[in-house]
């Protein structure tokens, strides 16, 4: 098991310019790096350049195992975080069919295996279409959702179960871009609050099997695109 990602990716940020009073920067978050790793380094650089304390925050976290677009707001732009987070998002990634993990991704090892050879592309595409629209989704246990004053992932790591309630989300597009069992690649465009890890869980169940994420990348938030983002340098 990857140990809570305390030993996360080591990286440096290339030179960039930012207005400490009000600015917005796009970053392409690397694998195993946390969103707060990026925020911390940006804050230190901007504060050093400005010679004073500067408010810095991100507009929508990414799991350590996810890569892609992370929007960093500086100074007065931090007041726009909620409105940026509310914009639709696009993700690409890979489902591994026939097995599940407690976290629905690679943070934990496989806990159950299921048959998957009965799945055809037609069945998978039909299942994907069933997710499009307004749906109810239960967040993963290994998530930052609060339950009884604690984060769900804290309870999960203590071996406790939280009775998380479902939330209404919207899936605008759910396209299967590669079908090579046991792997299925996808592109999903969705609303704020959508957990792609939960879609992996529910997609597996819809196909009378199991599934977990082996790759996830955020490509868009509204009109912001990862192709325009600053790429940290992995060391």
What are the residue ranges of helices labelled H in the chain? Answer: 35-50, 81-85, 121-129, 152-157, 196-206
* Cβ contacts of 205 within 8 Å, gap of 6 or more: none
The DSSP output letter for 87 is S
Which residues are tagged catalytic?
Answer: 63
**51 φ/ψ sector (left φ>0, alpha ψ -120 to 50, else beta):** left
- Label the pairing between strands 211-221 and 67-75: parallel
Angle CA(174)–CA(72)–CA(32) in degrees, nearest 5? 65
Rounded distance, CA 64 to CA 230, Å? 18
- Distances 167 to 87, 146, 206, 229 between C-alpha atoms, Å: 17, 13, 19, 31
Q: How many other C-beta atoms are found inside a 10 Å radius of the C-beta of residue 162?
A: 19
Tokens 């400490």, residue located: 20
């Amino acid at each position: 098991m990857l140990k809570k990602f305390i030993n996360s990716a080591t990286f440096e940020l290339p030179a960039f310019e930012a207005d400490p009073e009000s600015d917005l920067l796009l970053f392409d978050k690397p694998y195993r790096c946390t969103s707060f790793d990026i925020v911390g380094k940006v804050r230190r650089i901007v504060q050093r350049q400005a010679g004073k304390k500067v408010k810095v925050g991100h507009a929508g976290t990414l799991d350590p195992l996810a890569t892609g677009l992370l929007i960093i707001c500086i100074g007065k732009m931090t007041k726009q975080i909620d409105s940026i987070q509310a914009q639709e998002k696009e993700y690409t990634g890979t489902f591994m069919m026939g097995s599940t993990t407690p976290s629905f991704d690679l943070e934990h090892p496989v806990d159950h295996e299921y048959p998957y050879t009965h799945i055809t592309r037609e069945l998978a595409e039909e299942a994907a279409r069933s997710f499009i629209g307004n749906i109810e989704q239960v967040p993963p246990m290994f998530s930052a959702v609060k339950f009884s004053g604690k984060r769900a992932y804290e309870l999960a790591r203590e071996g406790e179960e939280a009775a998380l309630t479902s939330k209404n989300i919207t899936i605008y597009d759910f396209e299967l871009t590669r079908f090579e069992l046991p792997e299925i690649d996808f592109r999903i465009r969705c609303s704020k609050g959508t957990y792609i890890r939960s879609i992996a869980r529910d997609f597996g169940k819809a196909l009378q099997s199991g599934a977990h994420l082996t790759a996830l990348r955020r490509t868009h938030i509204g009109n912001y695109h990862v192709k325009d983002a600053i790429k940290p340098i992995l060391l």
